[in-house]
Amino acid sequence: MKVLIWFSIFGALLSYNAGIGENAVREEPVIPELPPVMEEESAETEENPETEEAPAPTAAQLYTEFFRTHYESVDPKTDWDNAAYWIALPDLDFNGIPELIVEKAGASASGLLEIYTIEEGEVRTFGYSRLDLPRARNAVDFAFEGSLSDINIHEDGDGFSIFLASHNGAMDFERYAYYRFTSSDGALACETVSAYVAEMTDWEDYRFDTAVWNGAEYTYDEFEPLYREWLADYFQAHPISDAAYMENLRTYEIGNTEEMLALIAEICG
């Protein structure tokens, strides 16, 4: 019996030495390779399509803003020198965009005409102006004097010619001139075609004894036919050939801002 017990113990030891208790080399467990985790690329944000450019403002919109900025708050009763009394909207250079002519108070009896045109989407002054505005490309350096209520505008080829007359309250000074408007480099341009200045002296019954015309002195009887001839030549050379279009050259006395803006919208529209 004891022998059997010892054989059992001996067998157990043999089993232990055979691998159970030894530091035998063990196979490492095989870990299956997983495909690498790819970071999902965030979808590129689509670029916003370019915004369509807003349409260029119309002449009506530009002139409306211009008047609201510079004239809406001007009261002719307290600031008569800067108020707008009359307006006209002829297309002086026939480019399809009207010019704006504003009559303001001038020296004594003559009015001061300020001409505005539209270039590169903004209102610019073409001649002398009391407003601080950018000047047009072909702006002239002189003031247009006269009254819109008496203005004579005539077709002249690809533009208009304007006859203007101005005088002072004492009736001892008169200026007559006509200017031809056209287009140069795509912008409004102007040239003085003919002009004279007469300094009157010794008025009596609206006749003067002497007049100085461009430095030469004349009696009334000498001066009157010269002036009439000069005037006849002008009107013969520049007839009104399109009476319907002349409707656009009407002048308007402004009673209030809303009336004025309605006229701008009507003519420019």
Tokens read off for 140:
């002239």
pLDDT tens for the chain, 269 residues long, are 544 444 454 454 445 454 544 455 556 656 556 666 566 655 555 555 566 777 889 999 999 999 999 988 888 778 888 888 888 888 888 888 989 999 888 665 567 889 999 999 999 999 989 899 999 999 998 888 877 766 666 766 666 777 777 766 555 667 778 788 888 988 999 988 777 777 777 777 667 778 877 778 888 888 888 888 887 887 777 766 555 555 555 666 666 778 888 888 988 87
Domains in the chain: boundaries = 59-256
What is the distance between the alpha carbons of residues 85 and 105, in angstroms, rounded to a whole number?
A: 8
Place of tokens 């063990």: 26
CB 160 within 8 A of CB 151: no
What's the pLDDT at 7? 47
What is the distance between the alpha carbons of residues 232 and 139, in angstroms, rounded to a whole number?
A: 29
What is the distance between the alpha carbons of residues 176 and 146, in angstroms, rounded to a whole number?
A: 9
pTM for this structure?
0.70
**Pairing outcome for strands 100-105 and 111-119:** antiparallel
What is the distance between the alpha carbons of residues 22 and 3, in angstroms, rounded to a whole number?
A: 27
Query: DSSP 3-state helix, strand, coil percentages of the chain (rounded to 5)?
Result: 25, 30, 45
Residues 6 or more apart in contact with residue 266 via CB below 8 angstroms: none
Tell me how crowded residue 97 is: count the other CB atoms within 10 A of its CB: 17
